[in-house]
């Protein structure tokens, strides 16, 4: 596989990676070792969602609550 990114500002690596994982799961359900994907994800909930075959949109949206909490906590300690 070869991916050429033509606009870095528009490229979204995380949703792209999830889409690729979902495609691998669909195309090679018996060959792709999905559990090894956790090493890249480092998020067990997301891995379970990939295993269940949730859409990339659903998976990305599932991150929103944690992302909002991170942004809130981060804002409290930013100096500038």
For the cut 80, the answer to whether the pLDDT of residue 71 exceeds it is yes
Location of structure tokens 């990676």: 17
How far is residue 63's CA from residue 80's CA, in Å, rounded to a whole number?
Answer: 26
Q: Give the global pTM.
A: 0.79
For the cut 80, the answer to whether the pLDDT of residue 80 exceeds it is no
How far is residue 53's CA from residue 71's CA, in Å, rounded to a whole number?
Answer: 28
Confidence of residue 33 (pLDDT cuts 50, 70, 90): very high
Per-residue pLDDT tens for 13-22?
999 999 999 9
């Amino acid at each position: 596989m070869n991916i050429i990114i033509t606009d870095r500002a528009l490229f979204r690596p995380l949703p792209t990676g999830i889409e690729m994982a979902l495609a691998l799961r669909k195309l090679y359900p018996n060959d792709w070792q999905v559990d090894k994907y956790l090493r890249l994800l480092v998020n067990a909930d997301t891995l379970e969602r990939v295993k269940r075959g949730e859409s990339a949109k659903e998976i990305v949206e599932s991150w929103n609550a944690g992302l909002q909490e991170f942004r809130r906590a981060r804002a409290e300690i930013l100096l500038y």
